[in-house]
């Protein structure tokens, strides 16, 4: 009788653990609330004319590259890490180069409209003018 009770308890424990596993959230969000559809991932360009433009490359793993081109020449490639919170639309970019020991952190509010992203930086002097980026 004692053995049957232990077996019954084991069966109940197995059923409960299967039910808890089945109740997990189907919309698995990453730590930034992105549901695997991070709109930043890809290559973006912000152009100030033919001879002067910036390229942001965002990878799905939270890393990226910022490239500045002037007269067609690559001037300042800098790698970065980033987080994007889909709920607050806040993008935080942390730049680290080989020269500076202290990383630079920039924070933006971003909005998306198709292949266009508007990024408005909030810096130490207040709001900057928004930049318009086009997805390539």
Residue with tokens 């800098």: 78
Q: What's residue 19's pLDDT?
A: 43
- The answer, yes or no, to whether residue 124 has pLDDT greater than 70, is no
pTM over 0.85: no
Q: What's residue 12's pLDDT?
A: 40
Q: What is the largest CA-CA distance in the chain?
A: 86
Average pLDDT over residues 74-101: 89
Contact 41, 58 (CB under 8 A): yes
Contact 95, 78 (CB under 8 A): yes
Q: Tell me: the pLDDT tens digits for 16-59?
A: 443 434 444 444 444 444 446 899 999 999 988 778 899 999 99
Q: What's residue 24's pLDDT?
A: 42
Kindly report which listed range (31-40, 82-91, 109-118, 122-131) carries the lowest average pLDDT score: 31-40
Contact 43, 57 (CB under 8 A): yes
Q: Which of 104, 77, 106, 103 is nearest to 91 (CA)?
A: 106
Structural domains of the chain, ranges and CATH numbers in brackets: 42-135 (2.40.128.20)
- The answer, yes or no, to whether residue 3 has pLDDT greater than 80, is no
């Amino acid at each position: 009788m004692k053995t049957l009770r232990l077996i019954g308890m084991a069966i109940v424990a197995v059923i409960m653990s299967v039910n808890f596993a089945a109740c997990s959230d189907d919309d698995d969000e990453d730590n930034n609330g992105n549901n695997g559809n991070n709109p930043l991932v890809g290559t973006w360009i912000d152009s100030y004319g033919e001879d002067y433009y910036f390229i942001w490359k965002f990878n799905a793993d939270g890393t990226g590259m910022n490239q500045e081109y002037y007269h067609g020449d690559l001037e300042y490639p800098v790698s970065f890490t980033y987080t994007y919170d889909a709920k607050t639309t806040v993008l935080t970019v942390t730049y680290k180069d080989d020269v500076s020991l202290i990383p630079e952190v920039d924070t933006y509010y971003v909005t998306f409209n198709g292949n266009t992203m508007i990024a408005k930086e909030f810096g130490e002097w207040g709001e900057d003018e928004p930049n318009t980026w086009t997805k390539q």
